Structure formats: C-alpha cells, structure tokens
Chains A and B, each alone.
Chain A
C-alpha cells in the first residue's frame, strides 16, 4: 500500500471500528473489522493490526482466521513464543481439511524459523531445537498436499540449512528431492492460477536444486519487472540471506544479495535496514560478476547497482550522536564548511538538529560538551567530541546545529548538497532518509519516502520567514532526528530531517487539513539563514 492517502483512510477506518467494537452493537461491525485486520497486515500496519485482532478476538475468540492473523502480528513484532502458544491449540482444534489448518501449521513453522533466525549462535541448543520444530511444522502440510508449495519450499530451505549445520533432523528427507517435488508441484499449477508468489517460490526451489541459472532467471522474471512489488523482493532477500545464508555460500550468492538489495531500495516502499557491519560488508563487497546484474535485474541492473553503491557510500558520512556515557540521542551528518560559508572551506563539520545538540542541553538534547559523534560504518570505536556550535537555529525555526569537532575527520567524504528541492509533480518523487531510527537496534535505515509537499519554488509559500519546510512520508513510520534527506536519483542532501511520523501534521502552503507526514528543513534555507 504505497498510496499515502489510502493509508490515512485505512488508519481512520480502523480507529472508527475500534471505537465501535467497544459499543453495544459490536456484532454488526465484526465482519468489517475482520476484513480490516487482513488489510492492515498487507499494509504492514502492525500496531493497529494487533489492537484490532485483539478487539475482534474478544468478540469472537474462535475465529480461526483472526487468530491466525493475530499470531502473524505477534511474529512480525518479535513475539514468536506468544505466537506459538496461540498457534498450537489452533492447529490442534482445526480439522485437517480446514483451509486454515495448513495456514496455521505453516505459520507455526514460521514462528520457529524466526526464533532460529534471531538466535546469534545458530549451533546453540535453542537454535537447533527451533530449526527442528520448524521443519516438523512445515513438513506435515506439504506431505499431506504438495500443492502447499510455500510449506514445501521452506522445508527445503530449512533442511538445507540443517545439513550445513551438521544437524540430524528428519534424516529420511533429502533437500534436493523435496526441492524437485516443489518444482514439479509449481510447474503443475495452471498459468491462470499462479499468484505473485509463484516466481519467488520457484526461484527458491531452484536454489534447493543448486541450479543457479534457474535461480537468477526466475528472480529476473519478477525483479526486473517495472511494476514489481517491494514485498516480493524483500521476502526473497530475507529468505535467501537468513535461511539459506547464500552470502556465505559463494560469490554468486553474494552477487544475488547485492542485486536484490539494490532493487529493493529502488522500489516504492522498499526501505532497508543494515547493521553497521552489514554496511561495511556492502561497501567492501566486490562488483558482482560480469553479466550477473543483468541476469538478475535485467538491462537496468548495472545502473541500479551503481545507484545503490552511491547510497551506501553516502551512509558512511551519517553519524550517530550520543550522550557521553549515555545512549544514542540522534543522527547527524558530515558536511563541508565551505558549503555553509565557513572557513576553512574544506573543514568537515557535522549538521544535526537543535533539539539533539544545543548550547544548554535544552529539551531532550545535550550540550556540546556532553555530546560525542560516531561514524558507525567506518570508525565505530572512535567517538569525536564537539569543540563548539558554529551556528544554531531553534526548534521552531530551522531546528539545526552546525558542529565543529575537536579533531578532524579523515577518510570520509562529506555529503553533497542539492542546489534545489525536487520538483513536485503529478507523480510524486521519492526522497530517501539515511539515519539511525530510535526504538531499534543500531542500524542504518535507508528509508524510502514519498515527497508530499514543500515550501520551495515555484509554488511554495513559506509560513515562517526564512524557513522552508519539506513534507514526506514513508510507508512505515519512524525516523531519526538530524538525518539527511536525499533526492532520489543523485543522493544529494535536500533537507535536514527533524520531526514526524505522526498523524495530524498540518499541511503546508495554506492547504487545509492535516496528514501523517515527516518534516524536514530545506538545506538551502539553512544555507541562506547562515549566510544572512
């Protein structure tokens, strides 16, 4: 669901129906509410999905679809063991020919699989047990009906991983034989019954056969398609990395992961989180073998790759801002002093929000003397200290602080600044945020946002003199104060991100109403404010 107004409407409908479900005549709204739970799942609106599934369960605790969706919400929000406690009795009480039986057992497998993924040491007892239980859960529905190909393909993946780990789980099963059965079942599917998961499943089953040509060919058939969906790429990427661990198999596996990451980020709704270690790996990764980018992504493959590599390089200049001896409080990024009219022109400075670093540590920010800056992708163990704030503008204006560091930063290129804001056109352009979002483990989040509006030329009407605001929205909420906001093709900074992610942001340029939006301050207006 990439249409932002559709998302707003969906959220509003959910809030309305949640209120109604608390009323006396809740039964009449139950059908709509159940349908909405599924819509929320498709839109990855997990918070509301959980609340609504809970509300529906209180009225109809036996509804198997709602219970299964509730379990899915639990898995997707990191509560896999609670999901297992819900799914086990559900699978036991459903007759085997019930449509939800295969779904519930498959999801049980997914919950165990998630526990396996999340365990750092894959050889630990807990991880091995989770892997074993996942295999048991996926095996049953596939053996009872080979048309359950998503169970089958997960079974192949987990068996292959178990064999690589040297685990004796289901010794009577051979991954290649199961993979061959999955391929046969898929190919037997009439063309008009093949859904959007057909090609990703076939690609994965081909991996089970060690047929790399077929893997690339099947991925290309959907990944190179102009209208492909981000969730299909994300799903393949997750499965290939987390279950198959193909990056550690060989160069061809690494090339596929690189190509899929690049494609995912390019698609609307295709944000990406990378740990600092993953970002370092991505920087160091060699160029995929000649021809592989075209084989996986089509003729645009090399360009997509170059674009992705540029984004990865830009992330290096993004820093986390921490309170000394404390936690991370925001994001900042490296800029060239000369771009803001300061000398020496080639000195590297850090730009962040006023509410992150300010003279007196006002609000939730810290004073310069208490702040430290860490470029996580390059020198994670080398905090830089702040000498002084060169220029600052309060929250209600530019919400910006430009910091001079005590020691010079070397080996990192400053971010290039865009000369203009992107043009607002009928087909809204994308902007990208790279930052360290709060509430999650330290990660570089490449977040794709739709540019909603801005107060820049030609039609903008700034309401705060000298301040040009920019509104944009990501399909998933979240963000990070002080992050750079980039234009989509050139990876040049267009704005300093400062707040958002909430409903109720008043629209810009005198337009009536409000919406869910992030807000940044145009980098150009910060430059102009500094130059006076």
Chain B
C-alpha cells in the first residue's frame, strides 16, 4: 500500500508520534484535504531532533503556534548554542551560511536596541518582520543543526553518549526507508534541513533504498554553501538523485521563506543528464513566518502534488 516517509527540519520538535500526527492533521485539514489514513496511505516520520536536543517539546500547541510570538512557533525551539567551527573550512561554511540569513553581527543582535529592518535587506532573515530576540533563536538552531549534520559532528545531549550526527541520521533515514512494508508508491516528503538529509541519503548513500518520489518543502538546497558540502555526489548537471528516486521530485517554496533564501528554485541546480527535471512550485504561506512545515503541508499545490505522486 502507498506510504509517505516524512523527515523534519531544524530545531527541537514535539515527540515523534505527536509530530507525525500534527503533520498528518495538517494534510487532512488542508484546503484540498489529503487524509492519508482514509486514503489507505501509511506514513512514518524520520525523527532526529532527539540527537541534538535533550528532550522533546512537551507543549505541542506551541509548535508552529499561530501567534508566531515564540521561538517554538518559528523553528527556533530548544535553545541551541551557536556552533563552534573546528576547521577553517567549517568557519567559512558557517560564515557563508550566516551571511545568507543576515548581515548583522552577533554583537549587533546582542544589543538591547534591536536592529531595525534595513531598507535593502542583505540576508533573508532580515526580511522577516519579527523581533530579533526570537529570530536569533532560529538563527542559532539553523546554523548549529545544519553544521552538525553536514560536518558529521560528534555530539551528545545531556545524559546520553555522544554520536556522530550525520552518520546516525543517515542510518535512521536508510533504515526507515528499508523497513517499511510497502508496495509502491513510496514518497519521501521532507522539510527544511530534512530536505538536505533526504537528498544526501538518496544521492550519496549507497545502501539507501530507492523511492518513487521526492517532495522538498522550504529547502535550502539552492544555496551554494549547502551544495558545496554535498560533493562528491552533487553536480549541477547531474544533481538529480535518479539513482534512488524513480519518479518525480517536486519542490515547493515561498519566496519569503528565509531558509530557501534568495535561491528557492532547484530545477536549475539539480539537473538530470543536463536537463531540468524538478518541478519548482512557488506558494504563498500565510502569516509572518513563511518557513512553517504545516503551512507548506496545507498548501493546495502541495496536496495536489502529493496526491499525484501517491496516485490516490
């Protein structure tokens, strides 16, 4: 029977079961409802927040809360400490990724007088009309979580033994795709950093099982800094993971989603044999925080794309 494997993005999250339920409910409550259970579609979540955060968010209602007045509502839960680079390469990566988000320095952001929104924003996060004390939490989580995955940092949450982040998350993703007792179609739906993990596994992990389709939501895969870290494997002309993705790849983005930055489209960067093969779909999420997973999941264009891939 058809199956959807979800993978989440950065920052702390509610417990895995709750997160899966919240995402499924978002689909069922969309304008073009896609109630997976009613349609006989099974689903699972590749959960990796526990590797980077001590315990899950216990207030599920705060996750992506509609008032957007807390860090939990804008993918900034969990109080991640800013990452410390170990090598010049890591330092350059963090500097570049940070510059995509803001030109303000940490000192600027630490001042009590909050930097105003500039007339010509240099970073994608500067376009988001939210106070910096909230955005700073997102910034730290984003830099830390992306860095720890891409550079396979050994990391331990309190009370647990240290693990290599990339290795462990890859293992979970590959196992999740392998153990599912599904007939086709099997679709991966990824959000945020989850899109990077899904791509990394499907393109660069030899043992990763194949799937029938891929959906990326609010993806940073268009950023040069990310693409640089996906080599060997990624090339502009043959970046499409056709080795493991048998069907289509749909990419949905909101132009004001700070994680996609100024490079939200992927078709041009992940070609298949030199030809564009990804369907890039621009959507407009509501509210101030455009990166929210559930906002993407409720988009009619997403539901239609997933329905098509699942053939339901």
Residues of A within 8 A of B (CB): 299-300, 303, 418-423, 425-427, 429, 456-458, 487-490, 492
Contacts and interface: CB of A to CB of B under 8 A. Distances in A.
Contacts of B1: 420, 423, 457-458
Given A419-B312, A420-B1, A458-B182, A487 B29 contact: no
Nearest to A226: B61
Interface in B221-275: none
Grouping DSSP codes into helix (H, G, I), strand (E, B) and loop, the A interface class, with mixed when no group exceeds half, is loop
Contacts of A419: 39-40, 312
Contact of B35 (A303, A427, A487): A487
A418 B40 CA distance: 9
A490 B34 CA distance: 9
A422 B37 contact: yes
B28 interface: yes
A456 B41 CA distance: 12
26 contacts: A418-B38, A418-B40, A419-B39, A419-B40, A420-B1, A420-B40, A420-B41, A421-B40, A422-B40, A423-B36, A423-B37, A423-B40, A423-B41, A423-B42, A425-B37, A426-B17, A457-B1, A457-B40, A458-B1, A487-B35, A487-B38, A489-B33, A489-B35, A490-B33, A490-B38, A490-B39
Contacts of A487: 35, 37-38
Contacts of B112: none
Contacts of A303: 29
A423 B38 CA distance: 7
A427 B20 CA distance: 11
Contact of A427 (B21, B38, B312): B21
B181 interface: yes
Given A458-B1, A489-B33, A422 B21 contact: no
B39 A420 contact: yes
A492 B29 contact: no
Max count, chain B CB within 10 A of own CB: residue among A303, A429, A458, A492: A458
Contacts of A299: 66
Nearest to A431: B38
Interface in B6-29: 17, 21, 28-29
For the complex of A and B, the 3 pairs showing the least CB-CB separation, nearest first, are: A420-B40, A489-B35, A487-B38
Grouping DSSP codes into helix (H, G, I), strand (E, B) and loop, the B interface class, with mixed when no group exceeds half, is loop
Max count, chain A CB within 10 A of own CB: residue among B33, B40, B181: B40
Contacts, number: 51
B40 A489 contact: no
Given A303-B29, A457-B1, A458-B1, A492 B21 contact: no
Contacts of B36: 423
Contacts of B41: 420, 423
Contacts of A457: 1, 40
B42 A429 contact: no
Nearest to B18: A427
A227 to B, nearest CB: 10
Contacts of A492: 38
B29 A300 contact: yes
A426 B17 CA distance: 9
Given A420-B1, A489-B28, A490-B33, 16 more contacts: A418-B39, A419-B39, A419-B40, A420-B39, A420-B40, A420-B41, A422-B38, A423-B40, A423-B41, A425-B37, A426-B17, A429-B37, A456-B40, A457-B1, A458-B42, A487-B35
Contacts of A420: 1, 39-41
Nearest to A418: B38
Contacts of B35: 487-490
B133 to A, nearest CB: 27
A492 B39 CA distance: 10
A427 to B, nearest CB: 6
B17 A488 contact: no
A383 to B, nearest CB: 34
Contacts of A418: 38-40
A423 B42 CA distance: 6
Contacts of A456: 40
Interface string B125-169: 000000000000000000000000000000000000000000000
Given A457-B1, A458-B1, A488 B38 contact: yes
A413 to B, nearest CB: 19
A299 B287 CA distance: 14
Contacts of B28: 489
Nearest to A300: B29
A380 to B, nearest CB: 31
Contacts of B181: 458
B298 to A, nearest CB: 11
A420 B37 CA distance: 9
